[in-house]
Structure 1
Amino acid sequence: MIPAAYNKTTLFISACCGLLLFGIALLTLGSVSQGLQQNFALDKREAGTLFAILPAGLLTGSLFFGPVCDRYGYKILLVSACLLLAAGFTGIAYSPSTGWLQLSIFIFGSAGGIINGATNAVVADISSEYKGANLSLLGVSFGIGALGLPFVLGILKQYYSYPVILSGAAVTAVGVALFYLLIRFPSPKITQGQPLKKSFGLLKDMVLLLIAFYLFCQSSLEAIVNNWTTTFLIEQKSLSEGNALYALSACVAGMTLMRLLTGTVFRKITARSILLFSFGLFLCGIVVLQTTASFITALSALLLLGAGIAGGFPIMLGLVGSRYTALSGTAFSLVLVIAITGNILVNYFMGMVAETYGIQHFITLLYAELGVMAVLFIFIFKKIN
């Protein structure tokens, strides 16, 4: 019997729902950190430990999802991840001890890593052309989730405690899991065991490794912009904390807008041209940020930085999806694990640089990362061509 065909539009919408959840999840811990510190009487070091557990979970989920979805398909994996995410939301809201809280955050992060990787992989699989443009459109839903959560919390916290709000997020995750149960996904790519030799063979592919280390830089660049921009603006540019946070929100807005344009107006423009344009935007953003003397120019700088960041993941994951269709999940796992490792390592390195030499070298590191990415870009497209 021939299995019923899946509906590409329905699958794309389902992937957007998942990545929207991931956007909400990624900002949840930071958004409720003050409440957690008060409830569990955490000092700054203990709170920092919680923030370190989240990327460890993301790394685990990213490593796990690829081989599983290639062997068993997407449905079971995504349904399970959404239910684990709901459990994580609930655990963060109602954990009776710090031990349970730490476990909940790890489960939460692992589920987020699975959802992020699997939704991107499924969109790459169902896109016969314009993979990068479609992945950019998918990325818009992440931006909506990441932008929307602080505003929703800001409105609702006047009426509800954060555990009640997180319970609502858990119910939403269960709803997405039910949605996944009702729709058909592409069939597993591997039906007779996992060809480990072929999977490990990906590690010998120079193009895939170049893309992975490009995303190492891309992910770490996003991390230091998200985590250190407010400190730079407050300490070096004398902006108020409120204005610095507004400027950082402009970065997410710029990224979301650029991904929307890439997926619609610019969808027929080549990946190479989009990335070159992105480098130009990001370079302008660094220059404006370095020379900024007011809130308005800082806002402009962060909009440019966000727009410059936008193309990296969708376009590079689109290239991975096009080249490795037989093992797309495993290939995505490999590059995302290396990308998240970059996020963790370079963010830690930036902390040491700021402590030893000063926060002004935040700008130096932005220039250095952009330069390395430009070199990797040249080698990637030279190899592809």
Structure 2
Amino acid sequence: VVLISVGTILPSITARFVIDEITAGSLATLLPFGILVGSIVFGPVVDRYGYKNMLIICSLLVLIGIEGIAYAKEFYVLQAAIFLIGFGGGVLNGGTNSLVADISDEGKGAKLSLLGVFFGIGALGMPALLGALSNYYEYDSILAGVGLFVLLPILYFLFIKFPEAKQPQGLPIKKGIGLIKESSLLLLGLILFFESGLEGIVNNWTTTYLINDLKTKPDNALFALSYFVIGMTVTRLLLGGLLRKLSSYKVLYVSIIIAFGGAIILSIASTYAIAVTGLVLLGIGFAASFPVVLGYVGDIYKQLSGTAFSIALVIALTGNMILNYTTGVIAQTFGIKYFTSVLFLSLILMTVVLFFTLKNISEKTKI
């Protein structure tokens, strides 16, 4: 919900504050910036102080941010609210993934896949909720109601027991900084660099591609993107069982092959139905990378797992920003139809990095 909230309501915000596209774009960048800052912060904090207080505080920040967007009268309040949503969401995303890895002695990838299912439900639920209720209520009222639901996880966090902090005596700064030089962590992060970039490209550019290249109606183009999310969400649900029976590295290679198939179908699609088929395959192909790779990170860096997750997720977010920017340059220079070329190149590079990464980590963890 957090990661898709601003994009979903941006048209309404633009009309409410009477802002131009450049200003609206600057608002949209506050969300990923907040997520990036949150992703940097959460790791060292959970290693030093544990999860409970951090998750409670950042859930409150998300609640304040959502209510802030709903009721903001001044533009600077709106900006602050969007940043708070990004920051809190970045911490919650990284923190919950790290927590699941910490409490799972075995099958980290499978359990992280199940966690990812809820990410997909939230991504689908927010636009669906706004669409279903927008004929009856103003968007700010709907958003304010959604914000109140954040109280539920806060209450849950208050009454459950969390793992103890790994470094209660103080974070070993030298070891934490040393992780940046760890080849295994950097290679795992590089896989997520391309994976996050690929997901970002599909989320941000597919609708433009369908509208301009296949002459799809805007409403249908947006709906097509839902199939991508559904494909990913359902696959992660299935991976919760499959990763207990199959080797993770085999799942990753098969996933990349499926993603290649989806990219090929999308690039040659002549009809809406064929394009949707490609998007579903892309969703299926992208589903395994984050849970499996983060599972490897959790296995190898158990004593500083929070900091290691921070580094990996910051690399991933950097890939999202760089590859999205690259796609924008290519689309402007050569045309949107070439956006699939970025998909192919990224998948090829990701496959090469995966091969060398698995060789690098094979003696450190079960692949």
**TM-score w.r.t. length of structure 1:** 0.93
Alpha-carbon offset, residue 282 of structure 1: 0.4
**For residue 121 of structure 2, what is the aligned residue in structure 1?**
144
**For residue 377 of structure 1, what is the aligned residue in structure 2?**
354
**For residue 186 of structure 2, what is the aligned residue in structure 1?**
209
Alpha-carbon offset, residue 175 of structure 1: 2.2
Give the match's secondary structure for 1:325: coil
**For residue 42 of structure 2, what is the aligned residue in structure 1?**
65
Equivalence map 1:110-125=2 (5 Å): 110-125=87-102
**AA of the residue aligned to 1:187:** E
- Provide structure 2 residue ranges, at least 5 long, that are not aligned to the other structure: 363-367
**For residue 159 of structure 1, what is the aligned residue in structure 2?**
136
Task: Deviation per CA, 1:254-286: give whole Å up to 9, x if none.
Answer: 000110111024432111011011111101101
Alpha-carbon offset, residue 218 of structure 1: 0.8
Q: Is the 8 A contact 1:73 1:186 kept in 2?
A: yes
**For residue 170 of structure 2, what is the aligned residue in structure 1?**
193
Distance in 1 (CA, whole Å) between partners of 2:152 and 2:229 is 26
Q: Is the 8 A contact 1:130 1:268 kept in 2?
A: no
**AA of the residue aligned to 1:83:** L
**For residue 105 of structure 1, what is the aligned residue in structure 2?**
82
Q: Is the 8 A contact 2:110 2:242 kept in 1?
A: no
Give the match's secondary structure for 1:101: helix
**AA of the residue aligned to 2:50:** G
**AA of the residue aligned to 1:180:** F
Q: Is the 8 A contact 2:196 2:320 kept in 1?
A: yes
Distance in 2 (CA, whole Å) between partners of 1:171 and 1:241 is 31
**For residue 158 of structure 2, what is the aligned residue in structure 1?**
181
**For residue 260 of structure 2, what is the aligned residue in structure 1?**
283
Among 62, 69, 75, which residue is 2:52 paired with?
75
Alpha-carbon offset, residue 297 of structure 1: 0.9
1:359 aligns with 2:336: yes
Q: Is the 8 A contact 2:68 2:77 kept in 1?
A: yes
Give the match's secondary structure for 2:348: helix
**For residue 365 of structure 2, what is the aligned residue in structure 1?**
none
Among 191, 194, 199, which residue is 1:222 paired with?
199
- Provide structure 1 residue ranges, at least 5 long, that are not aligned to the other structure: 1-23
Distance in 2 (CA, whole Å) between partners of 1:266 and 1:65 is 27
Q: Is the 8 A contact 1:63 1:337 kept in 2?
A: yes
Distance in 2 (CA, whole Å) between partners of 1:266 and 1:301 is 24
More divergent stretch after superposition (261-270 vs 47-56): 261-270
Distance in 2 (CA, whole Å) between partners of 1:124 and 1:255 is 20
Among 295, 299, 310, which residue is 2:272 paired with?
295
**For residue 305 of structure 1, what is the aligned residue in structure 2?**
282
**For residue 25 of structure 1, what is the aligned residue in structure 2?**
2
Distance in 1 (CA, whole Å) between partners of 2:268 and 2:322 is 28
Aligned length: 362
**For residue 46 of structure 1, what is the aligned residue in structure 2?**
23
Distance in 2 (CA, whole Å) between partners of 1:224 and 1:365 is 8
Task: Deviation per CA, 1:150-205: give whole Å up to 9, x if none.
Answer: 11111111111111111112211122112101111000000111100000111121
Q: Is the 8 A contact 2:214 2:272 kept in 1?
A: no
**AA of the residue aligned to 1:340:** L
RMSD: 0.9
Alpha-carbon offset, residue 239 of structure 1: 1.6
**For residue 317 of structure 2, what is the aligned residue in structure 1?**
340
**AA of the residue aligned to 1:140:** V
Superposition misfits of 4+ residues, deviation over 6 angstroms? none
Distance in 1 (CA, whole Å) between partners of 2:264 and 2:320 is 23
